[in-house]
A and B are shown apart, each in its own frame.
Chain A
Amino acid sequence: MIRAEGLGLALPDRGRRAGGFGFGRPPLLTILDGIDLQVGPGESVGLVGESGSGKTSLGRTLLRLYRPTAGRLVFEGRDITALEEPALRPLRADMQFIFQDPQSSLNPRARIGDILAQPLRAFGRTEGRRDAWRQAAALLERVGLPPGFTGRWPHELSGGQRQRVGIARAIALKPRLVVADEIVSGLDVSSQAQILALLAELKRDLGLALVFISHDLSVVRVLCDRVVVLRHGRVVEEGSCAAVFADPRQGYTRELLAAIPLPEVQPGWIFG
């Protein structure tokens, strides 16, 4: 499905500029360094790490929202490392992103029906507005929302409902690969449990390849088949969830696991 080989990403460090007068090119900051990763159909891979570890950048690079500065990126057998946007565009329908914050990723001035119709229209998959809204209603049902929500505005929905709309938009074009960036971190445990159940179901039914970015290792353990631990833009550890969680080989992974507060009273944990 998607394969990254020695993937690297460096972006201009806008905080600092070369030269004494504020001119010249800013120096490059290495974000990702030599990432090897493969995700197959129906497989879900968790990307975990602390803030700044590069997990979001990696997710965006996999979808070619960034252009890698090193290595190779292969999507369904095709090298997309350096494809220009026009060539990339038809592939965009097959690769979708679900954003962390449904509050800011849904246009506040568009009704839910239009938000969901937009990708359908952009890729010519509808016959007019009426058909687009009918498809939008079906998508809402697919993610467990009442089809009548097409006429609502984003602000009328709760956080969990908005996140479902984000998911509906991502699956509208029947993608092959979905990158979900911290999509349950703003939610209550209850909505979180619902969204995780929905994702597991969609992954199974649609045969999606899912890249699930999260800082919450418990969520990753419940949802994902494999886990990739990132630190400073490099892969520290990688393997099946069962193996990595039962017996982490790297000290850093052990540290991350030990820092998760499980809901049980453990005197002294705080000072451990």
Chain B
Amino acid sequence: MTDAYLDIAGLHMAVGRGRRPLPILRGVDLAVAPGEVHGLVGESGAGKSMVGRTVLGLLPPAARVTGGTVQYRGRDLLAMPVAERRALLGAKIALIPQDPMTALNPVHRIGRQVTDVLRLHLGLRQKPALARAEELLAAVQIREPGRVLRQYPHELSGGMRQRVLIAIAFACDPDLIVADEPTTALDVTVQRQILRLLKEMQGRAGTAILFVTHDLGVVSKICDRVSVIHAGRILESGAATEIFAAPRHAYTRALFAATPRYDRPADALHPIPPALLSALWAEAHEADRDEADRDAADRATEDGR
């Protein structure tokens, strides 16, 4: 898919140095087309957030990409010069973080935090930047945006803070947004408002969104396509309508069976069968061995030259 805004191919990532780094991502393939919301679903430890952080260049210091490409509109983010990449991040590629409580700097006013990105990436001076920030807050349906600009994060509710973070993400007309569990910390009623806002903003601008979450319910409501990840491997990928109507992979089906539904109280909840999980991990470790063999073979050919 060359016209995709985001095209991840064969992405491998491992943590730790030395002879045996711990593999986290094991050949992730994933593409997000313009105007598409792509849900990346998995349980904690599956590597879903790490995919988003690789795109954003926000991997922890101990993590290393050991293979694959991450292309933004045909340009490999991992291969481009740092300065070029930094110019994209926060501007054309933006993040909506999980926790609205910690994502904003508590000692700066909202105005400063919204205008930072406008001054840095668009080169606006303080006054026009503030004017633009006010428009952005109005666009995310914050009442009295002028007053909110002068407030500190602790004066705002969780929902309001998440709106501010969405405003910051959309500030420079991004092509691609990585949304990492953006509604997990919110009440269901506020969650629905935020999802609606996100969908409206995204629809208007044709933004591509990589939506990272563990919540199948949220995915079904906002995503066009879905990828299910476990142990750093994409197990199943497809249109949301198909996956929710007829999940193909046993793990996806197990996720559904473990999710409580108030409309189906008679259905017993089934934790994911341990046998399935150990089978999946065995596959993942086998993939690691194949990968290690391939690396060794590559090194041998290089040495032979």
Q: Which of A's residues lie within 8 Å of B, judged by CB?
A: 50-51, 159, 188-194, 196-197, 215-222, 241-242, 245, 255-257, 259-266, 269-271
Cβ-defined partner of A270 (8 Å) among B43, B158, B196, B265: B196
Q: Mark B233-272, 1 if CB is under 8 A from A, else 0.
A: 0000000110011000000001110111111010001111
CA distance A261 to B223 in the complex (A): 12
- CB-based contact A190/B271 at 8 Å: yes
Q: Within 8 Å CB of B269, what residues of A?
A: 193, 196-197, 222
CA distance A71 to B29 in the complex (A): 60
Q: Is B294 an interface residue (CB 8 A)?
A: no
Known contacts A159-B44, A218-B261, A222-B265: does B256 contact A263 (CB below 8 Å)? yes
CA distance A264 to B263 in the complex (A): 12
CA distance A263 to B218 in the complex (A): 7
Which of B78-86, B118-126, B185-193, B295-303 lies at the binding interface? B185-193
- CB-based contact B240/A270 at 8 Å: no
**Of residues 88 to 123 in B, which have CB atoms within 8 Å of A's CB atoms?**
none
Known contacts A259-B192, A270-B199: does B43 contact A189 (CB below 8 Å)? yes
Min CB distance A237 to B, Å, is 14
Given contacts A193-B260, A218-B262, A261-B192, 5 further A-B contacts (CB under 8 A): A189-B272, A190-B254, A222-B265, A245-B265, A263-B261
Listed by A's residue number, 10 A-B pairs whose Cβ atoms lie within 8 Å are A50-B190, A51-B158, A188-B44, A190-B272, A218-B259, A221-B261, A222-B265, A242-B265, A263-B219, A266-B221
Q: Within 8 Å CB of B190, what residues of A?
A: 50
- CB-based contact B43/A188 at 8 Å: yes
Q: Within 8 Å CB of B241, what residues of A?
A: 265
- CB-based contact A261/B262 at 8 Å: no
Residue of A nearest to B267 (CB): A222
- CB-based contact B217/A189 at 8 Å: no
Q: Which of B191, B221, B245 has the largest count of A CB atoms less than 10 A from its CB?
A: B221
- CB-based contact B189/A262 at 8 Å: no
Q: Within 8 Å CB of B188, what residues of A?
A: 50, 215, 217, 256, 259-261
Chain B's interface size range is 35 or more
Q: Within 8 Å CB of B258, what residues of A?
A: 189-190, 192-193
- CB-based contact B260/A265 at 8 Å: no
Known contacts A196-B269, A221-B260: does B189 contact A50 (CB below 8 Å)? yes
- CB-based contact B43/A260 at 8 Å: no
Q: Within 8 Å CB of B44, what residues of A?
A: 159, 188
Q: Which of B187, B188, B214, B216 has the largest count of A CB atoms less than 10 A from its CB?
A: B188
CA distance A234 to B216 in the complex (A): 32
Q: Within 8 Å CB of A269, what residues of B?
A: 221
- CB-based contact B271/A193 at 8 Å: yes
- CB-based contact A193/B214 at 8 Å: no
- CB-based contact A263/B216 at 8 Å: yes
- CB-based contact B255/A189 at 8 Å: yes
Min CB distance B231 to A, Å, is 14
- CB-based contact A266/B220 at 8 Å: yes
- CB-based contact B260/A262 at 8 Å: no
Cβ-defined partner of B217 (8 Å) among A241, A245, A262: A262
Q: Within 8 Å CB of A219, what residues of B?
A: 260
The 6 A-B pairs with the shortest beta carbon distances in the complex, nearest first, are: A261-B217, A263-B216, A221-B262, A259-B188, A188-B43, A193-B269
Q: Is B4 an interface residue (CB 8 A)?
A: no
Q: Within 8 Å CB of A260, what residues of B?
A: 188, 217, 262
